[in-house]
Chain A
Amino acid sequence: MANISLIPCGDFKTRYAADTTIFPTVTSRNFAILGVLLLLTFPAFMDRYWLNLCIQIGYLGIAALGLNILVGFTGQISIGHAAFFGFGAFSSAWLSNSFGIPVALAIPLAGVMTTAVGMLFGVPAARLKGLYLAIATLAAQYILQDFFARADWFTGGTAGTIAEPFSLFGFAFDTDERYFYVVLVYMVVMYILATNLMRTRDGRALVAVRDHYLSAEIMGINLTKYRTMSFGISAFYAGIGGALYAHYLQFVSVEGFTILFSIQFLGMIIIGGLGSIMGSLMGTAFMVLLPEVMQAITNSLAGTAIDTALNLKDAIAFLREMAIGLVIILFLVFEPDGLAHRWKQIKAYWKLYPFSH
Chain B
Amino acid sequence: MTLLFQLLVNGLIVGALYGVVAMSFVLIYKASRIVNFAQGEFLLIGAWTCWWLLTHWQLPFWIGFPITLAFMLIFGVVLQVVVLRPMIGEPIISVIMVTIGLSIFFQAMMKWMFGVFAKPFPTIFASPTMNVFGLEVQTVYVVSLVISLLIMAGFGWFFKYSRMGLAMRATAFDQQVAQSLGISVRQMFAMSWAISAMVSAVAGVTVGVVNGVSSALSFFGIKVFPAVILGGLDSVAGAVLGGLIVGVLENLAHYLDSQWLNWGNMYEIAPFYVLIVILMIKPYGLFGTKDIERV
**Given the interface contacts A124-B280, A318-B111, A322-B108, does A332 sit within 8 Å of B98 by beta carbon?**
yes
* Stretch from B62-70, B85-93, B167-175 contacting the other chain: B85-93
> Is B284 on the interface with A (CB-CB < 8 A)?
yes
**Residue of B at shortest CB range from A128?**
B283
- Interface range on chain A: under 10, 10 to 19, 20 to 34, or 35 or more? 35 or more
Does A139 lie within 8 Å of B272, measured CB to CB? yes
Bound Cα distance from A143 to B271, whole angstroms? 10
**Residue of A at shortest CB range from B272?**
A139
Q: Inside 8 A of A238's CB, which chain B residues have their CB?
A: none
**Given the interface contacts A132-B229, A146-B265, A333-B86, does A328 sit within 8 Å of B279 by beta carbon?**
no
Among B97, B106, B284, the one with the most A-chain Cβ atoms within 10 Å of its Cβ is B97
Bound Cα distance from A267 to B37, whole angstroms? 13
Q: Inside 8 A of B112's CB, which chain A residues have their CB?
A: 315, 318-319, 322
> Is B18 on the interface with A (CB-CB < 8 A)?
no
B91-133 interface mask toward A, CB cutoff 8 Å, 1 = contact, 0 = none? 1011011101111111111011000000000000000000000
Q: Inside 8 A of B111's CB, which chain A residues have their CB?
A: 318, 321
> Is B185 on the interface with A (CB-CB < 8 A)?
no
Q: Inside 8 A of A329's CB, which chain B residues have their CB?
A: 83, 98, 101-102, 105
Residue tally, chain B, CB below 8 Å to A: 48
Bound Cα distance from A335 to B107, whole angstroms? 24
**Given the interface contacts A315-B112, A325-B102, does A139 sit within 8 Å of B94 by beta carbon?**
no
Q: Inside 8 A of A318's CB, which chain B residues have their CB?
A: 108-109, 111-112
CB distance from A182 to the nearest CB of B (A): 31
Does B97 lie within 8 Å of A267, measured CB to CB? yes
Pick from B91, B102, B272: contact of A142, CB under 8 Å: B272
CB distance from A82 to the nearest CB of B (A): 14
Does A321 lie within 8 Å of B100, measured CB to CB? no
Does A266 lie within 8 Å of B97, measured CB to CB? yes
Bound Cα distance from A128 to B281, whole angstroms? 10
Does B275 lie within 8 Å of A136, measured CB to CB? yes
**Residue of B at shortest CB range from A77?**
B93
> Is B295 on the interface with A (CB-CB < 8 A)?
yes
> Is A274 on the interface with B (CB-CB < 8 A)?
yes
> Is A105 on the interface with B (CB-CB < 8 A)?
no
Q: Could you tell me the dominant secondary structure of chain A's interface residues?
A: helix
Pick from B104, B226, B276: contact of A325, CB under 8 Å: B104
CB distance from B32 to the nearest CB of A (A): 13
Q: Could you tell me the dominant secondary structure of chain B's interface residues?
A: helix
A232-243 interface mask toward B, CB cutoff 8 Å, 1 = contact, 0 = none? 000000000000
Q: Inside 8 A of A320's CB, which chain B residues have their CB?
A: 108
Bound Cα distance from A328 to B105, whole angstroms? 10
Q: Inside 8 A of B269's CB, which chain A residues have their CB?
A: 142-143, 146
> Is A347 on the interface with B (CB-CB < 8 A)?
no
A96-140 CB contacts (< 8 Å) to partner B: 124, 127-129, 131-132, 134-136, 138-140
Does A325 lie within 8 Å of B291, measured CB to CB? no
A304-357 CB contacts (< 8 Å) to partner B: 315, 318-322, 324-329, 332-333, 336-337
Does B35 lie within 8 Å of A321, measured CB to CB? no
Q: Inside 8 A of B233's CB, which chain A residues have their CB?
A: 131-132
**Residue of A at shortest CB range from B228?**
A135
Pick from B87, B225, B226, B263: contact of A336, CB under 8 Å: B87
> Is A214 on the interface with B (CB-CB < 8 A)?
yes
> Is B285 on the interface with A (CB-CB < 8 A)?
yes
**Residue of A at shortest CB range from B222?**
A259
Does B291 lie within 8 Å of A129, measured CB to CB? yes
> Is B157 on the interface with A (CB-CB < 8 A)?
no
Does A127 lie within 8 Å of B94, measured CB to CB? no
Among B103, B106, B111, B288, the one with the most A-chain Cβ atoms within 10 Å of its Cβ is B111
Q: Inside 8 A of A319's CB, which chain B residues have their CB?
A: 108, 112
Bound Cα distance from A319 to B107, whole angstroms? 11
Does A135 lie within 8 Å of B226, measured CB to CB? yes
**Given the interface contacts A127-B280, A321-B107, does A333 sit within 8 Å of B229 by beta carbon?**
no
B250-292 CB contacts (< 8 Å) to partner A: 263, 265, 268-269, 272-273, 275-276, 279-280, 283-285, 288, 291
Does B94 lie within 8 Å of A332, measured CB to CB? yes
Bound Cα distance from A259 to B37, whole angstroms? 12
**Residue of B at shortest CB range from A138?**
B225
- In the complex, besides A131-B229, A136-B279, A337-B94, 10 extra interface pairs with C-beta distance below 8 angstroms are A129-B283, A136-B276, A139-B272, A139-B273, A325-B104, A326-B105, A328-B98, A329-B98, A329-B101, A332-B94
- By a beta-carbon cutoff of 8 Å, the part of chain B in contact with chain A is 29, 35, 37, 83, 86-87, 90-91, 93-94, 96-98, 100-109, 111-112, 222, 225-226, 228-229, 233, 263, 265, 268-269, 272-273, 275-276, 279-280, 283-285, 288, 291, 293, 295
What are 15 sample pairs from A and B whose C-beta atoms fall under 8 A apart?
Answer: A124-B276, A134-B35, A142-B272, A143-B273, A143-B276, A150-B263, A259-B222, A266-B93, A271-B97, A274-B93, A318-B112, A325-B102, A332-B97, A332-B98, A336-B90
